[in-house]
Amino acid sequence: MKQQEGQELAPQGNVEASLVSVIVPVYNSAEELALCLAAIMRSDLPAFECIVIDDASTDPGIAEVAERFGVRYDRMPQRSGPALARNAGVGMAEGQIVFFCDADMLLHPGALSQAMQLLESEPGVAAVIGSYDDKPADPSLLSQYRNLYHHWNHQMASEEASTFWTGCGAIRKSVFLQVGGFSSEYAEPCIEDIELGYRLREAGHRIRLLKSMVGTHLKRWRFWDMVRTDIFRRGVPWMALLLQHRNVPWDLNLNKRARLATAAAALLPFSLLSALVLDPLITLFSALTLVVLIVLAQMPFYRLLLQRKGIAFTCAAVPLQLVFFMGCALALPLGYLRYLRPR
């Protein structure tokens, strides 16, 4: 069930006929959840159910927001991470298709219907993922850069995807249950959706990237949070995952341009250290050469920034890209060690 603009919903009750179940895991931030649910209720899909799974929030407003919008609500007994929260939501879902949406995501009105139409028209496709749009909500330089980079990676990727994405992604419930849902290994926001995608592909299922299925990201990025996320929540576990699933095609952030930029970034510290034994001018030249190589490798992304944000913003994004790829370079050996650790 959905609401009319400006109205509250009555509780949904039994919705056995509902085809799509929208699952929103949330931890605190009732204000963002309200914006997220309001966007979901503006969907052009006539009927669906929405389930909010509260991951043991300390914010009492979460339950109040869920009640105000008339969505189904459940609370985890203890904080367990979004992976297990989503699994709990699927356990409640009545729909044949489950659509995952992050609580800091504003789905565009056509997102749910696009997912449903694709999965209904292509029986051989098990899941479909979308993208952030090119209009991030937070105005800060860092947030605009990060969300536009994510948008660009998805828009440039192959439509035959090898990963899943829970920011805006749908999957057939039967397939989700067949492969065992999200792994319990990830107790915090991490790469649980990527890991699920790899298992889907290895089980012979197809995942489609639908580039017109988009939403607006609300997240406000902070510098050190970005660095920690890129290295320890994404880079390291993703590298270990790649070593476990070597037959899955590389796409999205693992495209050839990103790999070239990461290799150049890995050499950059050694180039700077060469000043201890080489002429400083040679060191400076080699370091600048590597920086130029990184910029050239990412030139299509910088063209997007130039079109959307202008030259000043694009120039300011270059050092942020250097930090990003140096983090990726550091994650490679750490990820390899993580892969070897249990072995």
Res 275: pLDDT: 59
Answer yes or no: do 194 and 261 share one domain.
no
Answer yes or no: do 110 and 152 share one domain.
yes
Structure tokens at 343: 């072995």
Q: Let me know: does 243 contact 339? Beta carbons within 8 Å.
A: yes
Write out the residue range of the structural domain in which residue 103 sits. 20-221
Q: How far apart are CA 127 and CA 266, in angstroms?
A: 35
- Residue written as tokens 């090898």? 162
The gap from C-alpha 117 to its chain's centroid, in whole angstroms, comes to 22
Res 165: pLDDT: 96
Structure tokens at 311: 């030259």
Splitting the chain (343 residues) into consecutive groups of 10 residues, what average pLDDT does each group show? 41 49 96 98 95 95 96 96 96 96 97 96 96 95 96 93 95 97 89 95 96 96 94 92 85 83 88 66 83 93 95 96 94 92 67
Answer yes or no: do 135 and 277 share one domain.
no
> Which residue type occupies 316?
A
Query: Nearest-CA neighbor of 171 among 134, 210, 138?
Result: 210
Answer yes or no: do 67 and 139 share one domain.
yes
Res 88: pLDDT: 97
Answer yes or no: do 217 and 284 share one domain.
no
CA distances (Å), origin 262, targets 113, 142, 258, 267, 302: 38, 20, 6, 9, 17
Answer yes or no: do 174 and 269 share one domain.
no
Answer yes or no: do 133 and 79 share one domain.
yes
Q: How far apart are CA 171 and CA 293, in angstroms?
A: 39
Answer yes or no: do 214 and 277 share one domain.
no
Q: How far apart are CA 84 and CA 264, in angstroms?
A: 37
- Structural domain contains residue 12: no
CA distances (Å), origin 173, targets 66, 100, 119, 193: 23, 11, 12, 15
**Which residues are bridge partners to 118 per DSSP?**
none
Structure tokens at 227: 């660095």
Whole-structure pTM value: 0.90
Q: Let me know: does 82 contact 57? Beta carbons within 8 Å.
A: no
Res 247: pLDDT: 83
Q: How far apart are CA 40 and CA 30, in angstroms?
A: 15
Answer yes or no: do 275 and 184 share one domain.
no
Where is the domain boundary, 200, 221, 242? 221
- Structural domain contains residue 4: no
Strand 20-26 with 49-54, pairing: parallel
Where is the domain boundary, 221, 237, 262? 221
The gap from C-alpha 261 to its chain's centroid, in whole angstroms, comes to 21
Overall number of domains in the chain: 2
